[in-house]
């Protein structure tokens, strides 16, 4: 907050101020329809929308909702995997997992910053998560029961996330797209480490192979659910496509995921728990069975196996960290005052 | 096989692994995102150091010994870490102070280890020193922040000081393998580090407006020779669970 105020003070020079007023006048003279036309034209021309550009309120709202939901998913997503850091079965695996979960914290940071460019502070965004107003990806409401789950999450969950995120690297909103480019660079390492965990298990003892197959059986369907409701039942999809926030439909992305995973599963020598899974030569894609939408909506509505625990853990970290954040702020204030005293 | 040197290397490795394990409990639960990342980073640095040291101990021992058999298949009584590293995290103040005490000690130790006749140890110290320099800076800044911050933070860090102080003396009381390696020129004469350590601690505590504890406090010892607090058993039970449950497989 403080930084932003200083920034304003130093940048509003006389000429900047004139330009700003001129812009404002020009904008007032333009009707909303005209502004919207210019905006959509930019989007169609693949010109990125930047924080200071005019944008429709609904576009801003959609972005805040989507990016903050995405940020929360990164942060809540640290919990199921963090659950196995202390028990990782080798020093190498422990180090890799720590680095991976730490990456997710970094992703959360980039995304909270992107939300801030739209005028919503990080604290506000975080409070919306804690109050239950904001959502996060339902996948993280499933428990990590065995070490193989850490492999399955990397392979399937990060794998699904990557497809979505690669698409978002071209999102029309500049700060979001740029955050996604940074994130995508790290995500491929995430999927690879997950696949590698499973690959070792798949070549291991009978118990390890069973552990591997069991984890895949449990994470397969929830991973397919990550792409959201079917096209046509997804409330925000069409508008997001026109605004080029999204460029592929839920079902397109889901199909892409299935096609990719089926091939990789062959290398792991595992099965996917769907009897309807079959190559369709005519379509050039794999057919697959119907998602259990009752379960999907149940987890979205808060009845998943870990919804309560995940939110509790986040709230607890935040509440118990309050005195630390306060102390840091108080110390910074005192320091500043002391420095000003010295200067005076 | 030089058992003394092996014990010394294991002692250094156990310190870093156990503290890394403790710090990693914060991952995903930190007070603010930036600090969640910072404490995880320290955890990562420490496990990196532990791996280099265990790998070295494994080559010294030969046979089928690996970094993982050393970390995962030894029992409580074989671990040689200082007691401070295994204490519970407590609140952020306690974690910070533990880190500050440890990193300051480790920094002095590694500076001396640079001159070790053992080239591998000297190289590990050199590589680690950059990281440890950062750990000292980060943790001392936090001690100052909490001491100087609010009434509550001051009280909390003062309480941590009371709780942790009696575990710091152990650093400077040499175990047999420390004395022997110091005499050989491979290890470090640890008692000589106590005064510089106290000086650094005093400087930072002063800036944090915290009182320097009594020099003559009773100090807990035993970790270096495998007599631990009850905490270590639980740490190992959790950490070693998979290796113990599924012996002899790859992960
Ligand atoms: Fe991520
Ligand atoms: Fe990821």
**pLDDT tens-digit series, residues A37-54:** 999 999 999 999 999 999
Long-range contacts formed by A35-39: CB under 8 A, 24+ apart: none
- CB neighbours of A42 closer than 8 A, spacing ≥ 6? A49, A53
Among chain B residues, CA nearest to A200: B251
| ipTM here | 0.97
A257 CA → ligand 2 middle, Å: 16
The verdict on B1 touching A (C-beta cutoff 8 Å) is no
> Model's pTM, two decimal places?
0.93
Helix (H, G, I), strand (E, B) or coil at A161: helix
Residue A27 has pLDDT above 70, yes or no: no
Q: How many beta-carbon contacts under 8 Å exist across A and B?
A: 134
A155 CA → ligand 1 middle, Å: 13
Q: Compute the distance between CA of residue A305 and CA of residue A283 in angstroms, rounded to an integer.
A: 36
Q: Residue holding tokens 């999927």?
A: A191
Q: Compute the distance between CA of residue A315 and CA of residue B186 in angstroms, rounded to an integer.
A: 49
Tell me the pLDDT band of A1, cut-offs 50, 70 and 90: very low
The verdict on B163 touching A (C-beta cutoff 8 Å) is no
Q: Compute the distance between CA of residue A127 and CA of residue A337 in angstroms, rounded to an integer.
A: 30
Q: How many residues does chain B have?
A: 251
The verdict on B151 touching A (C-beta cutoff 8 Å) is no
| Pick from A36, A76, A85, A88: nearest CA to A60 | A36
Average pLDDT (B154-181) is 98
The verdict on B90 touching A (C-beta cutoff 8 Å) is no
Q: Compute the distance between CA of residue A242 and CA of residue A251 in angstroms, rounded to an integer.
A: 17
10 Å Cβ neighbour count for A239?
A: 14
Tokens standing for B225? Answer: 């020779």
10 Å Cβ neighbour count for A123?
A: 12
Beta-carbon separation of B251 and A330 below 8 A: no
* E-state strands within A32-171: none
Beta-carbon separation of B144 and A331 below 8 A: yes
Average pLDDT (B79-102) is 98
Residue-wise pLDDT for A160-200, tens only, equals 999 999 999 999 999 999 999 999 999 989 999 999 999 99
Q: What percent of chain A has pLDDT over 70?
A: 92
Average pLDDT (B3-32) is 98
Q: Which residues of B touch A325 (CB under 8 A)?
A: 31-32
Q: What percent of chain B has pLDDT over 90?
A: 98
Task: Choose the closest CB to A327 out of B29, B146, B243.
Answer: B146
Q: Which residues of B touch A112 (CB under 8 A)?
A: 33
Q: Compute the distance between CA of residue B185 and CA of residue B56 in angstroms, rounded to an integer.
A: 18
Task: Choose the closest CB to A87 out of B67, B150, B238.
Answer: B238
Q: Counting beta carbons within 10 angstroms of the beta carbon of residue A311, is it exposed (0 to 12), middle (13 to 18) or buried (19 or more)?
A: buried
Domains delineated in chain B: 3-245 (1.20.1260.10)
The number of C-alpha atoms within 13 Å of B133 and in the hemisphere containing its C-beta is 7
Among chain A residues, CA nearest to B51: A91
B31 CA → ligand 2 middle, Å: 22
Among chain A residues, CA nearest to B92: A324
Tokens standing for B210? Answer: 């915290």
Task: Choose the closest CB to B148 out of A82, A112, A331.
Answer: A331
A297 CA → ligand 2 middle, Å: 24
Name the B residues in 9-68 with CB < 8 Å from any A CB.
Answer: 17, 21, 24-25, 27-37, 40-41, 43-44, 47-48, 50-51, 54, 67-68
Q: Compute the distance between CA of residue A239 and CA of residue A36 in angstroms, rounded to an integer.
A: 14
Tell me the pLDDT band of A12, cut-offs 50, 70 and 90: very low
The verdict on A336 touching B (C-beta cutoff 8 Å) is no
Q: Counting beta carbons within 10 angstroms of the beta carbon of residue A190, is it exposed (0 to 12), middle (13 to 18) or buried (19 or more)?
A: buried
Burial B110-146 (b: 16+ CB within 10 A, else e): bbbbeebebebbbebbeebbebbeebbebbbbbbbbb
- CB neighbours of B118 closer than 8 A, spacing ≥ 6? B5, B186
Q: Compute the distance between CA of residue A124 and CA of residue A120 in angstroms, rounded to an integer.
A: 7
A39, A41, A43, A44 alpha-carbon torsion, rounded to 10°: 160
Helix (H, G, I), strand (E, B) or coil at A112: helix
Query: Which residue has better confidence, A33 or B147?
Result: B147
pLDDT for position A3: 38
| Pick from A235, A256, A238, A254: nearest CA to A246 | A238
Average pLDDT (B66-71) is 98
| Pick from B219, B51, B74, B194: nearest CA to B128 | B51
pLDDT for position A344: 79
Average pLDDT (B78-86) is 98
pLDDT for position A236: 75
Tokens standing for A324? Answer: 């630390």
Residue A18 has pLDDT above 70, yes or no: no
Q: Residue holding tokens 């804690």?
A: A130
Beta-carbon separation of A208 and B25 below 8 A: no
Beta-carbon separation of A321 and B25 below 8 A: no
Beta-carbon separation of A323 and B156 below 8 A: yes
10 Å Cβ neighbour count for B75?
A: 11
Residue-wise pLDDT for A57-79, tens only, equals 999 999 999 999 999 999 999 99
């Amino acid at each position: 907050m403080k930084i932003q105020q200083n920034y304003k003070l130093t940048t509003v020079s006389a000429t900047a101020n004139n330009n700003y007023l001129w812009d404002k006048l020009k904008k007032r003279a333009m009707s909303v329809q005209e502004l919207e036309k210019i905006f959509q034209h930019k989007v169609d021309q693949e010109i990125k929308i930047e924080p200071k550009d005019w944008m429709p309120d609904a576009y801003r709202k959609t972005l805040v909702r989507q990016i903050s939901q995405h940020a929360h998913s990164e942060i809540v997503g640290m919990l199921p995997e963090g659950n196995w850091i202390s028990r990782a079965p080798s020093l190498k695996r422990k180090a890799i997992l720590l680095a991976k979960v730490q990456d997710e914290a970094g992703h959360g940071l980039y995304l909270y910053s992107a939300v801030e460019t739209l005028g919503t502070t990080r604290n506000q965004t975080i409070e919306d998560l804690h109050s239950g107003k904001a959502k996060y990806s339902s996948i993280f409401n499933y428990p990590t029961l065995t070490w193989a789950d850490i492999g399955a999450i990397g392979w399937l969950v990060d794998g699904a996330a990557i497809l979505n995120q690669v698409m978002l690297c071209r999102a029309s909103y500049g700060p979001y797209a740029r955050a996604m480019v940074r994130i995508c660079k790290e995500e491929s390492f995430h999927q690879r480490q997950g696949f590698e965990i499973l690959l070792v298990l798949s070549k291991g003892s009978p118990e390890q192979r069973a552990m591997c197959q069991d984890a895949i059986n449990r994470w397969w369907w929830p991973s397919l659910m990550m792409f959201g409701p079917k096209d046509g039942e997804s409330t925000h999809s069409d508008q997001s496509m026109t605004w080029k926030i999204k460029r592929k439909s839920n079902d397109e992305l889901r199909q892409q995921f299935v096609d990719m995973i089926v091939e990789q599963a062959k290398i792991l020598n595992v099965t996917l728990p769907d009897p309807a899974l079959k190559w369709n030569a005519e379509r050039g894609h794999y057919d697959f069975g119907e998602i259990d939408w009752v379960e999907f909506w149940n987890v979205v509505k808060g009845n998943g196996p870990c919804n309560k625990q995940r939110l509790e853990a986040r709230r607890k970290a935040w509440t118990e960290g309050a005195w630390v954040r306060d102390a840091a702020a108080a110390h910074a204030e005192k320091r500043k005052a002391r420095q000003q005293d010295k200067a005076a | 096989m030089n058992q003394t040197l092996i014990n010394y290397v294991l002692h250094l490795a156990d310190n870093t692994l156990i503290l890394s394990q403790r710090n990693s409990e914060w991952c995903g639960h930190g007070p603010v995102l930036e600090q969640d990342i910072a404490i995880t980073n320290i955890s990562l640095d420490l496990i990196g150091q532990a791996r280099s040291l265990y790998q070295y101990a494994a080559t010294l021992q030969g046979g089928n010994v690996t970094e993982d058999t050393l970390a995962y298949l030894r029992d409580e009584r074989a671990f040689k870490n200082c007691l401070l590293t295994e204490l519970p995290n407590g609140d952020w103040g306690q974690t910070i102070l533990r880190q500050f005490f440890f990193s300051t000690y480790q920094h002095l130790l590694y500076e001396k280890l640079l001159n070790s006749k053992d080239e591998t140890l000297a190289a590990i110290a050199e590589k680690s020193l950059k990281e440890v320099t950062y750990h000292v800076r980060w943790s001392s800044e936090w001690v100052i922040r909490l001491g100087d911050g609010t009434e509550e933070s001051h009280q909390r860090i003062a309480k941590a000081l009371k709780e942790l102080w009696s575990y710091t003396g152990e650093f400077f009381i040499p175990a047999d393998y420390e004395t022997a390696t110091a005499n050989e020129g491979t290890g470090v004469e640890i008692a000589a580090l106590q005064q510089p350590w106290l000086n650094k601690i005093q400087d930072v505590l002063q800036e944090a407006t915290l009182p320097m504890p009594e020099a003559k406090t009773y100090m807990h010892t035993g970790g270096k020779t495998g007599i631990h607090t009850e905490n270590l058993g639980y740490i190992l039970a959790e950490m070693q669970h998979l290796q113990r449950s599924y012996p002899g497989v790859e992960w």
